Structure 1
């Protein structure tokens, strides 16, 4: 969680293909993600806020954990360090290879599988599932939540983080993209250079889908409530420390959490 707060950016190849399910996988982008996202102030702040929020939202007791779309392994490392046996599922081969290297010697099992194949590859049932920043890259996130609900054990917890559609709209207005915001043209195609999610989601969608699957929302927080709207694109270290203090203070306070770039949920499956 101690990623340096340095600058960076990440883009997709213009001809990046979608999967057979219509999802955006990130084959060939491990280095861009490592340097451009997690090595940037926004990526470091995201990880620092998860470090703050996850122990407050989840009941953690070293239970086995399924990390869905685990990417480079940051969340797997966080949970493994806290005594969890982690199964990391990731469809992109290069991402998975980097995660294997980073997590060598830790209690982590690796699966090269997309979310849709997990009922066969990792049926569980699982007492704890983590799925962060995955749904926004899926063609059918509602079906994905149904799949994860089926993998969850009675009494289990799902830590779900999604890209916030309302925050994306607000960000476009701040940047002056007024016509785009008015037309509600917020989704990306998954094929262009910018990393614009193909399925940004609203809180109401998550609440409706969770209720339909018998899941209870027990906690919600906004991740990066303020950072993405700053006029200063390259804050110094002193400003970043103040920003982190603000983010921690207001991440789960009404109405601020609703404009977090990501929405972080804990969903509970009743006994």
Structure 2
């Protein structure tokens, strides 16, 4: 359990919240890379995306916008497959690392938070990716509406969010029972901790997508087993077996619902759905 605020060590905050209350990652690139992409967790995340993105998206070399592109792994994946990528990232350090790692790739870099994209990258875009971003924002509902407004008719949004229900389950597994009962799951965006400030539920994504006129065309769970294992894989055979399990069940109900991340394909229909007429009208 976290320490009370009066017992926390003094010192400057490493990555304060933005003026909008969002969590950015200036000064935390190393920890971000190690926590999100290091070890088995990172390997599984990237391997599952490598499988799922071609399954869940209609890809035909279209230009794409990578929102909150971080260190550039996702932008690199799309660039290697023929897409002209625009990577938008608010943290200067993260953007510099992405620029270095993607040198020579067809990627354009923009330092900008999500809220400013209607001005700096308005599109409309036929393909947008926004992975592991909304959970770091103070108002993820408004952010999804902004993304919807950037999509062209028929456009696809690949959205990945940190799953609040999985976070609760993980806390119970770790013995944080009172925290789970009180539903105190959000991080505060302080210092070096990387617990998201706005973890989301599937029900929220469903409701907010409908509000924005977006249709959910596909959903999958990322890391549905690994994060609950009592012991990490001990050898290559165990790692391969775990990956096989993750691949087999990542889109199977009820397993996908407890993925540490939830991956969606959201589509803006070519024409808006008209409300049904009342009888007798």
Give TM-score scaled by structure 1 length: 0.93
Structure 2 unaligned runs (5+)? 1-11, 271-281
Query: What CA RMSD, in Å, does the superposition of the two structures yield over aligned residues?
Result: 1.1
What per-residue deviation string (whole Å, max 9, x for no partner) do you get for residues 237-270 of structure 1? 2111100000000000000000000000000000
Aligned to 1:227: 226
Aligned to 2:111: 112
What is the alpha-carbon distance in structure 2 between the residues aligned to residue 189 and residue 37 of structure 1?
Answer: 18
Aligned to 2:261: 262
Structure 1 unaligned runs (5+)? 1-12
What is the alpha-carbon distance in structure 2 between the residues aligned to residue 149 and residue 245 of structure 1?
Answer: 34
Shift of 1:234: 5.1
Aligned to 1:19: 18
State the SS of the aligned residue for 1:117: helix
Number of aligned residues: 259
Segment drifting more, 184-193 vs 246-255:
184-193
Aligned to 1:50: 49
Shift of 1:42: 0.3
- In the TM superposition, 1:123-134 aligns within 5 A as 123-134=122-133
Query: Is it true that 1:239 corresponds to 2:238 in the alignment?
Result: yes
State the SS of the aligned residue for 1:218: strand
State the SS of the aligned residue for 2:218: strand
Aligned to 1:4: none
In our comparison, the structure showing a higher alpha carbon Rg is 2
Aligned to 1:212: 211
Aligned to 1:63: 62
Shift of 1:29: 1.6
Shift of 1:41: 1.1
What is the alpha-carbon distance in structure 1 between the residues aligned to residue 35 and residue 143 of structure 2?
Answer: 27
What is the alpha-carbon distance in structure 1 between the residues aligned to residue 162 and residue 220 of structure 2?
Answer: 12
Segment drifting more, 225-234 vs 126-135:
225-234
State the SS of the aligned residue for 1:220: strand
Aligned to 1:8: none
Aligned to 1:82: 81
Shift of 1:34: 2.6
What is the alpha-carbon distance in structure 2 between the residues aligned to residue 82 and residue 246 of structure 1?
Answer: 27
